[in-house]
Amino acid sequence: MLLLHGGVGSDKSKLEYLNSKLNDYAKVGSASASPLENVVNAVVKMEDDEDFNAGTGSVMRIDGSIQMDAAVMIPGDFGSVIAIERVKNPILVARDVLEKSPHIMLASDGAVKFARTLGYEEYDPSTGKARSRLEKVLAELRSENAGISSNVAHFKKFVNSTQFVEGSCDTVGAVARMDGKFAAAVSTGGSSPMMRGRVGDSPVLGAGIYCGPKGAVVATGIGEEIAKNILCYRTYAKIGSKPLKEILKEEVDSFGQTLIGLIAVDKDDYAHYDNGSMAVGTNNLEQ
């Protein structure tokens, strides 16, 4: 079983289209017998699709730069990259952190250097869509407060600048169960608006991702809130206490209006739940 999400807060009118892409990516991404391989392959597909805020198509930071976060986890092991730049597939570097480095997390220039040492080429993930999103939020940030979104208003309380950028949804994630083994993966260009150097929940163990012997959980939404609540570990810890869908609903509901989405698998079930619009896809294989 491979379950993917395409980020909470997507354009509702595009949901059907995004769901069908994710179903395709889940099928293509599930060719291996290894759950880790499968979540990584599926996330590569989503990173390469500029409809999603990960890899190519990642949103820009307030200075116009792109810094991406990605993580993979299997029971007992973890790898993540934080604010990595100029690589095509951050998720592959995160897996290499897990498999080929003595560490579990590598950040910014150290992560880029690690990637280059392994042969990852220089790559520009920026797109026209990311640039127009930037223009839109710049306009919103420069405007007076009436009609601006709550995350932009929150950002303005702390950052008084005329240089801003938007982003905010379409992060990608994957959880898998194969023959009783689990894996999780997540990749994002980040939430928005955000300062250069901002780190969300996605690359932080237990916050935006968790995987253990009972299952795997990945989150999407406002990273600061997810991290403050160690959401994925908290959700994981409840696995087995009640039906999986109920656990996810209880966790997402506890955030009130804050945009949150979760996907999870346990030993005999899988579930997703969100309070915004979140594209999902599965390979429909009960493994």
Residue 10, interface with ligand ASP (CB under 6 A)? no
Stretch that binds ligand ASP, among 57-65, 126-134, 219-227, 234-242 (CB under 6 A): 219-227
The residue from 29, 125, 193, 221 that contacts ligand ASP (CB under 6 A) is 221
The residue from 171, 235, 277, 282 that contacts ligand ASP (CB under 6 A) is 171
CA distance 65 to 31: 35
Closer by beta carbon to ligand ASP, 78 or else 178: 78
Which residue is at the shortest CB distance from ligand ASP? 223
What residue has token string 């950040």? 107
Residue 202, interface with ligand ASP (CB under 6 A)? yes
Alpha helix ranges (H) inside the chain: 15-28, 35-47, 90-100, 108-117, 128-142, 150-158, 223-228, 231-237, 244-253
Smallest CA-to-CA distance from 65 within 92, 43, 83 is with 83
Residue 191, interface with ligand ASP (CB under 6 A)? yes
> Which tokens is 92 given?
């592959």
- Catalytic entry in 56, 127, 162, 171: 171
CB of 179 to ligand ASP, least distance (A): 29
Instruction: Give residues with Cβ within 8 angstroms of 66, minimum separation 6.
Output: 58, 59, 60, 85, 125, 126, 130, 189
Residue 137, interface with ligand ASP (CB under 6 A)? no
> Which residues 222-241 are close enough to bind ligand ASP by CB under 6 A?
222-223, 226
Instruction: Give residues with Cβ within 8 angstroms of 61, minimum separation 6.
Output: 67, 165, 190, 194, 195, 196, 198
The residue from 169, 217, 239, 262 that contacts ligand ASP (CB under 6 A) is 169
CB of 236 to ligand ASP, least distance (A): 17
Is 171 one of the catalytic residues? yes
Closer by beta carbon to ligand ASP, 79 or else 208: 208
The DSSP symbol for 140 reads H
The DSSP symbol for 230 reads T
Residues forming the active site = 171
- Summarize as ranges the residues that interact with ligand ASP (CB under 6 A): 7, 169, 171, 188, 190-191, 200-202, 208, 220-223, 226
